[in-house]
């Protein structure tokens, strides 16, 4: 197994939200001795409030999964050592795609969007994600999740004031084409290929990416020589990075990373 020669973490943001969702995570892991990066997505290097004011945004609407994956690949290749990759939702899928290319020494997929060929029949997944696909609407216009949709897809189970603050702080417009790309070859993972250690985190209360979908994703990996682990936690919704329990998840990840063989 490749040695972990780097104490660098690249955080990969998911769709619909600002990269500031990693702010507290950066502080935590830097306190653990890591160097961290949480790059903004192309066309999203602004506050969530500013990005919403630009809605609809043609530049954001043009974003595609293949280009976004290459964007992060280029950031990683410019680093002196291969980093640890930690991604949430769409960022979890990108973590999986980059890890299969050998671009990370370890990966953590937090409530990861499914690669091509991984399915769930859970209704909440389709209800939460249907609007973002934007079928029968112009793909040249970006999609902005309404607050009501946000309450269901991201912050279900939280009190109203916390839901409202989370939306104000983080919700951003998104590309419909990018979301649709998760159904295409650009989201394909070779589950038989050896890979760096990979941890899946799932949440029992996530409407958007149900735990059953994360578990199906995890179970697809078949190489016996590679470390692939799974953990489901109670009460986590899709806003897992900002819930009051985020430190428990960060501590678990830090412990998992520290226990990996050199």
Domain limits, the chain: 8-259
Q: What pLDDT does 1 receive?
A: 39
Q: For the segment 178-194, what is each residue's pLDDT rounded down to a tens digit?
A: 999 999 999 999 999 99
pLDDT of 2 strictly over 70: no
Q: What is the mean pLDDT of the chain?
A: 96
CATH 3.40.50.150 fits 8-259, yes or no: no
The answer for residues whose C-beta is within 8 angstroms of residue 92's C-beta and 6 or more apart is 12, 14, 109, 110, 111, 112, 113
Tell me if the pTM is above 0.75.
yes
Which among 46, 107, 47 has a CA at the least distance from the CA of 76? 107
Q: For the segment 165-180, what is each residue's pLDDT rounded down to a tens digit?
A: 999 999 999 999 999 9
pLDDT of 3 strictly over 80: no
* 47, burial (CB in 10 Å: exposed 0-12, middle 13-18, buried 19+): middle
Q: Round to whole Å and give the CA distance between 40 and 37.
A: 10
Q: For the segment 197-212, what is each residue's pLDDT rounded down to a tens digit?
A: 999 999 999 999 999 9
């Amino acid at each position: 197994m490749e040695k972990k020669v780097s104490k660098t973490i690249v955080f990969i943001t998911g769709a619909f939200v600002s990269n500031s969702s990693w702010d507290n995570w950066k502080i935590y892991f830097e306190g653990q001795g890591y160097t961290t990066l949480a790059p903004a997505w192309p066309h999203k290097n602004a506050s969530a409030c500013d990005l919403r004011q630009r809605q609809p945004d043609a530049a954001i609407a043009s974003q595609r999964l293949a280009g976004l994956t290459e964007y992060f690949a280029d950031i990683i290749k410019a680093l002196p050592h291969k980093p640890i990759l930690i991604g949430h939702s769409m960022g979890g899928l990108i973590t999986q795609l980059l890890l299969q290319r050998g671009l990370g020494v370890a990966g953590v997929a937090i409530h990861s969007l499914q690669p091509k060929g991984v399915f769930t029949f859970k209704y909440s997944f389709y209800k939460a994600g249907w609007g973002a696909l934007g079928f029968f609407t112009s793909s040249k216009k970006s999609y902005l999740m309404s607050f009501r949709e946000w309450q269901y897809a991201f912050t279900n189970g939280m009190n109203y004031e916390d839901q409202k603050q989370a939306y104000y702080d983080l919700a951003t417009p998104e590309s419909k084409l990018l979301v649709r790309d998760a159904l295409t070859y650009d989201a394909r993972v070779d589950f038989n290929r050896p890979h760096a250690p990979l941890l899946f985190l799932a949440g029992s209360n996530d409407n958007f990416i149900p735990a059953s979908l994360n578990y199906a994703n995890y179970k697809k990996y078949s190489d016996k020589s590679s470390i692939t682990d799974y953990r489901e936690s109670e009460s986590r919704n899709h806003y897992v990075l900002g819930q009051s329990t985020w430190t428990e998840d960060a501590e678990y990840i830090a412990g998992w990373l520290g226990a990996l063989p050199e």
